[in-house]
Amino acid sequence: ALMQVRLESFEATRQLIIEKETDMLTGLFNRRKLFETLAVIESPNSDKPSGIMMIDIDYFKDFNDKYGHAAGDKCLSHLGEIFKKVAQNYKMDFYRYGGEEFVALVYGYSKADLLSIAENLRIAVQNADMDSHNFTVSIGIAYCGEKQIRNYGNIIDQADKAVYAAKRMGRNIVCMEQKANESND
């Protein structure tokens, strides 16, 4: 009987961790888990991402205003499914960063690979039918490569700038941060 109790408490603990780390709407990791992960990867000898993507749903505020938050929530949960499907094909983790913003940490890819992964993601979203609504995303990429980075917050900022560039260029676009990455501390 003791074994059973142990297993149940292990399972309860596991559920709590999942709840703590998961955005319940999308089923993706949440912002809290992102910052925990960033703290881990800033330490030596940890597996580092080769790039960070910021993904922003185009015109999502307008959609929410027009169709209401329940419809918006439904679409967010659809997007979570799409992101999870894409993540199965690559070494990457998705996090819900804010209302309609997501961050992906991508591991072990070249600049060219990152662009094509982001492009695949963009197309997957564009082609998805979400309750007969269609969405697009703007994606910004910051490439880290093999460098030792002490502050990943800066890399997220770079990805964020790249998203703004994608939006300025007309949305539904992938844009890579072009600036030289020397100043990462």
Give the catalytic positions in this structure.
100
List the one residue out of 32, 44, 1, 56 whose CA is nearest residue 148: 44
Query: Is 129 within 8 Å of 34 (Cβ atoms)?
Result: no
In b/e form, how buried is each residue of 45-79, taking b as 16+ CB within 10 angstroms?
Answer: eeebbbbbbbbbbbebeebbeeeeeeebebbbbbb
DSSP 145: T
Q: How far apart are CA 140 and CA 11, in angstroms?
A: 37
Dihedral Cα 161, 166, 168, 170, nearest 10 deg: -170
Angle, helices 152-168 vs 31-41, to 10°: value is: 130
CA–CA separation, 109 vs 118, rounded Å?
12
**What tokens were used for 96?**
């819900």
